[in-house]
Amino acid sequence: MRRNDESGQVAVETAIVLPLFVFMLLGILQLGLMHQARLLTKYAAYKAVRAGSLHNADVGAMERAAVAVLLPMASQAANSGGAEVIKPVNDASSFRDKWESGFKDNQMPDADLKFAEVTICGPLKGDVSSGVTQSGKEMDFDNPKAAVGGGSWDDSLRTKLRVQVTFNYRLPIPFADVVIYNIARGLEIPWVLRLGKTSSRREFVNGRMSAYDSAAGNKIYILPIRATYNMRMHSNFYLTQKALPEDNQCIFPF
């Protein structure tokens, strides 16, 4: 009789501990992959700003450069079961095959998000005065007037391209993806505990996160991983191409 009681106790203890143990293993694996994705995002920011400095701050060129770097960590939905598949990139042929399999357009087929997004943090259009442009159409990157100007800190940054790369990382580990996404998203955290509680701040965050929440509703859990980089320009800013934004849209919170 005592042996049966002990057996039942072991079953209860196992039922309590086993899910936590499994989550711990899956969570460690997922966090390790996220750390690797973070490191790649930093390198992708460097490659993106380098492409932009050579190609007149062209956002399309910068995003293609970022996706090429992030390709080893980018995943796609499997054919069935809702799982994520990360195809390895071991050589040039595997890179080409994965690039052509749905990443070259930089658009997720099952979510309203890009794999990699590039946002220009600066310079802004207001930073580039007409005094250092050619007929208001472009600014010479090597024009001393552009770099010196009035001698202020902002003037010295006018010839430096500053970008933010957002890697929309699809969490590939089942069960851990749901928990980690909900923890990072913090939907249940009161706004008074966040960095700002005004209605405009709330609308800004919710507007930026609507695509992620919509994907999570379809059981696709995506976390934005961001990194910034700046580099001196090696080609002219073309103002007529609307490459430079009116204001800084770079953000750091989730």
pTM: 0.83
The mean per-residue pLDDT over the stretch 78-106 comes to 86
Is the pLDDT at 32 greater than 90? The verdict is yes
Min mean pLDDT across 86-95, 111-120, 143-152 is at 143-152
- Residue 210's Cβ-side half-sphere holds a number of Cα atoms within 13 Å equal to 6
Q: In 10 A of CB 201, how many CB atoms? A: 14
**DSSP 8-state code for residue 132:** G
Looking at residue 34, its amino acid is M
Find out whether 176 and 21 touch, Cβ atoms under 8 Å: no
What pLDDT is recorded for position 129?
Answer: 62
Return the bridge partners of 161, or none.
Answer: 231
Find out whether 176 and 29 touch, Cβ atoms under 8 Å: yes
**DSSP 8-state code for residue 15:** H
pLDDT mean across residues, the chain: 82
Helix (H) or strand (E) holding 139: strand 138-139
What pLDDT is recorded for position 15?
Answer: 79
Min mean pLDDT across 48-62, 163-177, 195-209 is at 195-209
Residue 200 sits at the vertex; the CA angle it makes with 194 and 203, to the nearest 5 degrees, is 80
Quick one: what percent of the chain has pLDDT higher than 90? Answer: 40
Residues 6+ apart with CB under 8 A from 172: 30, 33, 75, 83, 84, 85, 86
**DSSP 8-state code for residue 157:** T
State the Cα–Cα distance between residues 61 and 74, nearest whole angstrom. 18
